[in-house]
C-alpha cells in the first residue's frame, strides 16, 4: 500500500532535494526513450518532483510536460527550469488528453503510484507503440561502505530490489526490458548528510530516529577506511530503467 504521508513529504525539502539528489545519466535517458530519431519526442515526466529528470530530457532536445502533485516540488521545478511550468496532477489523474505522449518517464517515483490505476492512465496518455519507462538512481551497494550507508539510513531502493519487484505494467504494455547504467556523483561528507535529509524516512521520522541516523552516518564518514579524512567522496550509483511499449 502507498504511504501518502511519505509520498508527499518531499515538498518541505524541495530546494535541498533539487541540489543534492543525483541527475540521471544521458545514456539512461536515451535508452529509456528508445533514442528516438527525427522530430523531438513529446514526453510526460510523471511525478516530476523538482524537475531533475525533466531538465535531463529537455537537454536532449525533446518536449517535456512535467506533472507533479506536491505544490512545493512544483514551485521548485518552475524556479529551476526556465520556460517550463509543471502541471498539478498525479499518476492516477493526469490533466492531459488521450494519446498526447510519445513517452511517459518516471524518475524516482513509480514506487509511490497506485500501480493498477496508474497503468491505465499512462496507457491512455501514450500513443500506440509509445514508451513507458520508470527510472531509479540506486546506490551501488556492491561497494561496502555504500551498503553500510543504506543500512544506517534505512534505504531500500537498490538495483536488485527494483528489478525483482516489478514484473509487468499490465495488459496494455509489452514485456518489460531492463537497462542498467553506472555513474558516480562527487559529494562532501556534509553533502552526504544533506542528501539523506531529503529521504522520506528522514522527512517523516521522529527526532530520535533522525538523531540516531545522523550519529551513525557521521561515524561511518569519519571512521570507515575508504572515507576517513576525505574532503570528498565518490558515491556510486546504478541507474535502473524498466522500459515497455504500449500495445
Nearest alpha carbon to residue 239 among 107, 148, 126, 119: 107
**3-class DSSP assignment, residue 59:** helix
**CA 37 – CA 1 distance, rounded (Å):** 39
Residuewise pLDDT in 10s, the chain (247 residues)? 554 444 445 555 799 999 999 999 999 999 999 866 567 999 999 999 999 999 999 999 999 999 999 999 999 999 999 999 999 999 999 999 999 999 999 999 999 999 999 999 999 999 999 999 999 999 999 999 999 999 999 887 677 788 889 989 999 999 999 999 999 999 999 999 999 999 888 888 899 999 999 999 999 999 999 999 999 999 999 999 999 999 9
pTM of the predicted model, to two decimals?
0.91
Q: What is the DSSP letter of 174?
A: P
Cβ burial, residue 95 (10 Å; 0-12/13-18/19+): exposed
Amino acid at each position: 500500500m502507498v504511504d501518502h504521508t511519505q509520498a508527499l513529504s518531499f515538498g518541505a525539502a524541495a530546494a535541498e532535494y533539487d541540489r543534492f539528489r543525483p541527475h540521471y545519466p544521458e545514456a539512461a535517458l536515451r535508452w529509456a526513450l528508445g533514442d528516438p530519431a527525427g522530430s523531438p519526442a513529446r514526453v510526460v515526466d510523471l511525478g516530476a518532483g523538482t524537475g531533475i529528470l525533466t531538465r535531463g530530457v529537455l537537454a536532449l532536445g525533446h518536449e517535456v510536460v512535467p506533472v507533479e502533485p506536491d505544490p512545493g516540488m512544483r514551485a521548485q521545478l518552475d524556479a529551476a527550469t526556465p520556460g517550463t511550468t509543471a502541471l498539478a496532477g498525479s499518476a492516477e489523474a493526469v490533466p492531459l488528453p488521450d494519446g498526447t505522449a510519445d513517452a511517459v518517464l518516471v524518475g524516482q517515483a513509480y514506487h509511490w503510484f497506485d500501480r493498477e490505476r496508474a497503468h491505465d492512465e499512462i496507457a491512455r496518455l501514450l500513443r500506440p507503440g509509445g514508451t513507458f519507462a520508470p527510472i531509479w538512481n540506486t546506490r551501488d551497494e556492491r561497494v561496502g561502505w555504500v551498503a553500510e550507508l543504506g543500512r544506517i539510513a534505512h534505504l531500500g531502493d537498490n538495483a536488485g530490489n527494483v528489478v525483482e519487484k516489478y514484473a509487468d505494467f499490465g495488459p496494455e504494455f509489452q514485456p518489460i526490458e531492463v537497462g542498467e547504467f553506472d555513474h558516480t556523483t562527487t559529494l562532501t561528507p556534509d553533502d552526504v548528510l544533506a542528501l539523506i535529509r531529503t529521504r522520506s524516512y528522514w522527512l517523516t521520522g521522529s527526532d530520535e530516529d533522525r538523531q540516531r541516523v545522523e550519529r551513525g552516518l557521521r561515524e561511518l564518514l569519519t571512521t570507515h577506511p575508504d572515507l576517513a579524512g576525505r574532503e570528498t567522496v565518490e558515491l556510486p550509483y546504478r541507474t535502473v530503467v524498466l522500459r515497455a511499449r504500449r500495445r
